[in-house]
Amino acid sequence: MKVDLSKYNNDWYKKEIGAGKTKQVIWYFINILFIQSRWIPSSAVKRFWLKRFGAKIGEGVIIKPGVSVKYPWKLQIGNHVWIGENVWIDNLDDVEIGNNACISQGAMLLCGNHNYKSETFDLMIGKIVLKEGAWVGAQSVVCPGVTLHEYSLLTVNSVATKDLEANGIYSGNPAVFKRKRNS
């Protein structure tokens, strides 16, 4: 199958974004200046701006420098969550992060992908859910439509293409079940 990108059209997605162009442009600069900034390490400043743009954020959330959030109005974070350096939350769809979840440095939550079987390379989106105590290891990727159930663990440099069951340790590309997580 050949791809013809001149036929690519994701106009349907403009309705899914949930914000007008002005809000998107302002957020683009706020994200660079305050969320991604290494000069402003304060989680309080990052939480302030994310909330002002519609993110729902619980108590005790730590957000390290270098984090990038595509659309904060599509982000919900529970209590006592840790988000490490250089995490990319590419939330073209909703992202829900439960209490006590951890997203380690360099991890990516990717809510969008393209249909390689389609000549027009159509955009496909899917919600990501990290439930209570889920842990995304450093440099790992969570793909569209995936749920990490309670206390599941995606190990370093792994790719979750399917749901991870509760208390399971998953590793590899694509990630596969290795064993149960010790309590």
List all residues 6 or more positions away from 169 whose beta carbon is below 8 Å from its beta carbon: 152, 153, 155, 177, 178, 179, 180, 181
Q: Tokens 């309080």 appear where? A: 44
Cα–Cα distances (Å) from 45 to 23, 82, 111, in that order, read: 19, 15, 25
CATH number at residue 174: 2.160.10.10
8, part of any domain? no
1, part of any domain? no
Burial class (CB in 10 A: 0-12, 13-18, 19+), 117: exposed
- The reported pLDDT for the residue numbered 168 is 98
Chain mean pLDDT for the chain: 96
Written as one letter, the residue type at 17 is I
104, part of any domain? yes
pLDDT in tens, 167-181: 999 999 999 999 999
165, part of any domain? yes
List all residues 6 or more positions away from 78 whose beta carbon is below 8 Å from its beta carbon: 58, 97, 98, 99, 100, 101, 132
pLDDT value at 23 more than 80: yes
174, part of any domain? yes
10, part of any domain? no
Full domain range(s) for residue 71? 18-180
Confidence of residue 65 (pLDDT cuts 50, 70, 90): very high
4, part of any domain? no
Distance CA 20, CA 73 (A): 12
Global pTM value: 0.95
Burial class (CB in 10 A: 0-12, 13-18, 19+), 37: middle
Contact of 103 with 84, CB cutoff 8 Å: yes
pLDDT in tens, 69-122: 999 999 999 999 999 999 999 999 999 999 999 999 999 999 999 998 999 999
148, part of any domain? yes
Tally the domains of the chain.
Answer: 1
pLDDT value at 183 more than 80: no
